[in-house]
Amino acid sequence: MNATRNRDLLVGLFVLAGLAAIAYLSLSLGGLSYNGPGGMKLHVDFDEIGGLTTRAPVVIAGVKVGQVSAIDLGTDYRARVTIDVDKKLELPVDTSASIVTSGVLGDRYVSLQLGGEDDILKDGDDLTFAESAVILERLIGQFIHNTNVEGEKK
């Protein structure tokens, strides 16, 4: 009888451990946690998002505070990016967003720079200041083009 009860306990522990592993994979790694109702949704319009994807992190001073939840093409043919950030944050209304790359070839993410206004952003607000992604190829193209022009002048 005692052996059976021990066995049941082990089975229970095994099932709990397995479920915990599934929960860890789905919630912590799979990123289901930020989709909850707790987040504050903000919209930003970018001219160019250059490879930004949904679930890319949103950071303030390098600390992750949320993630990109949706990317659509806006009515004015600019990229309308919806970000989902921690509701407890008190962001001034003149906060600006920029798309940056970690490393030269790394992933794109959204970085927020806080402004100085007293009014704070609420759920569903738009960020007015946005700095687009830097496209490395375009920069290189411009650079090559410029050097060519200079060469012709000589």
Partner 1 sequence: MIAAIRELGNRAVRFDGELGTLAVFTSQILLAVFTRPMRIRRFVDEVYRLGVLSLVIVCVSGITVGAVLGLQGYNTLARFGATGSLGAVVGLSLIRELGPVLAALLTTGRAGSATTAEIGTMVATEQLDGLRMMSIDPVHYVVAPKALAMLLVMPLLSALFTVCGVGGGYVVGVHLMGVDPGAYLSSLESAVDFNDDVLGSLIKAVVFGILIGLISTYRGYTCRPTSEGVSAATTSTVVVASVSILVFDYFITALWGV
Task: Write out the residues near partner 1 by the rule CB under 8 A.
Answer: 7-8, 10-11, 14-15, 17-19, 21-22, 24-26, 28-32, 55-57, 64, 67, 102-103, 105-107, 109
Q: Render the burial of 61-100: b for 16+ CB within 10 Å, e for the rest.
A: eeeebbbbbebeeeeeebbbbebbbeeebebebebbbbbe
Q: Closest approach of Cβ 116 to partner 1, in Å?
A: 29
CB of 14 to partner 1, least distance (A): 5
**Nearer Cβ to partner 1, position 3 or 73?**
3
Report the 10 Å Cβ neighbour count for 17. 10
**What's the per-residue H, E or C state across 99-146?**
EEECCCCCCEEEEEECCCCCCECCCCCEECEEECCCCHHHHHHHHHHH
Q: Which is nearer to partner 1, 8 or 72 (CB)?
A: 8
The β-bridge relationship of strands 57-60 and 108-113 is: parallel
Residue closer to partner 1, measured from CB, 19 or 144: 19
Q: Least separation, in Å, of the C-beta of 144 and partner 1?
A: 24
User: Given the complex with partner 1, which of 27 and 139 has the nearer CB atom?
Assistant: 27
* Phi, then psi, of 105 in degrees rounded to 5: -110, 10
- Residue placing its CB nearer to partner 1 in the complex, 59 or 121: 59
What 3-state class would DSSP assign to 62? coil
CB of 10 to partner 1, least distance (A): 5
Closest approach of Cβ 21 to partner 1, in Å? 4
